[in-house]
Amino acid sequence: MSQLTHHRTSNPYESLFKYSRAVKKGPFIFVSGTTAVSLPEPSSDPQDTTHPPSTDHEAPEILHPTSAYLQSQHIFTEIAKAVRALGGDPATDIVRVRMYVTHEEDGGEVGKALKESGFGIGERGEGGGPAATMILGVKFVHPDMRVEIEADAVVL
């Protein structure tokens, strides 16, 4: 039976709602829906590699509120960090991405950021990218959130 491994960040919502940024079970990594928010600095304790949850539940600042492209770039960077933290490589191991976008006109910018992310392109950059779904016209918990993205990876 394989162990469940959690990756947490300093996002206060992770502790408030009791979820992890990403979890790994066997060869599978699942990254939670990720938005472009500023995160509090993680613990400065060198023994702490899990970034314990903040007890301060003040809402984080929404980054790049007028740009779905910049939000997407930030989100893909955070997803890559989570996959790496659990032993994966975004270029070779991310197999599926789900993108939720508030405004239909932002779809192209989000797609451009996905292409630039390098997810699922393989070791030599010859892969076709991950399986992907984009859903347009959704509403998020904050009006400045334009994009939320989830990802799945398989580490073999």
> Contact, 42 vs 10, CB < 8 A?
yes
Where do the domains of the chain lie, and which CATH numbers do they carry? 4-39+50-154 (3.30.1330.40)
pLDDT of 53 > 80? The answer is no
Taking CA atoms, 86 is separated from 27, 28, 79, 135, in Å, by: 10, 10, 11, 27
pLDDT digits (tens, 9 = 90+) for 80-96: 999 999 999 999 999 99
Write out the E strands in 38-77.
none
Per-residue pLDDT band for 36 (boundaries 50, 70, 90) equals very high
Per-residue pLDDT at 54: 47
> In percent, how much of the chain has pLDDT > 70?
88
The Cα–Cα gap between 128 and 137 comes to: 26
Give the predicted TM-score (pTM) of the model: 0.88
Quote the CA–CA distance of 102 and 142 in Å, as a whole number.
Answer: 11
Q: What is the mean pLDDT of the chain?
A: 90
- Of 29-43, 67-81, 138-152, which gets the smallest average pLDDT? 29-43
Read off the pLDDT band of 112 (50, 70, 90): very high
Closest CA to 143 of 65, 74, 84, 85: 65
Amino acid at 37: V
Report pLDDT for 57.
Answer: 56
